[in-house]
A = this chain, B = another copy of it.
Amino acid sequence: MSSSEQQTSAPVPSVWARPRRQKEQPALSQEQIVAAAVRLLDAEGIEALSMRRLGTEMGTAATSLYRHVANKDELIELVVDEVYGELELPETTGPDGWREALAHSGHSLRGMVLRHPWVASVLGQVGLAHLGPNLMRMSERMLGMALAAGFPKAEADLAMKAVMSYVLGASTSEASYLSLLARSGRSETEWLESLVPASQQALADHPLTQDHATAWQGKDPGLLREEIFDYGLQRILDGLATRLDRS
Give the interface size class of chain A.
35 or more
Interface secondary structure of A, over-half rule: helix
B128 near A120 with CB under 8 A, answer: no
Q: Is A180's CB under 8 angstroms from B127's CB? A: yes
Known contacts A162-B232, A236-B235, A242-B238; A173/B209 CB under 8 A: no
- Binary flags per residue of A102-144, CB closer than 8 Å to B gives 1, else 0: 0000000000000000001111111111010000110110011
* A residues adjacent to B (C-beta < 8 A): 120-129, 131, 136-137, 139-140, 143-144, 147, 153-155, 157-159, 161-162, 164-170, 172-173, 175-177, 179-180, 198, 202, 205-206, 208-210, 212, 215, 228, 231-232, 234-240, 242-243
> 30 A-B contacts, Cβ less than 8 Å apart?
A120-B127, A121-B125, A122-B124, A125-B179, A127-B177, A127-B179, A127-B180, A128-B176, A128-B177, A136-B205, A136-B206, A144-B208, A155-B231, A157-B210, A157-B212, A158-B228, A159-B231, A162-B170, A162-B232, A162-B236, A166-B169, A168-B173, A169-B170, A169-B172, A172-B172, A232-B236, A235-B240, A236-B239, A237-B239, A238-B242
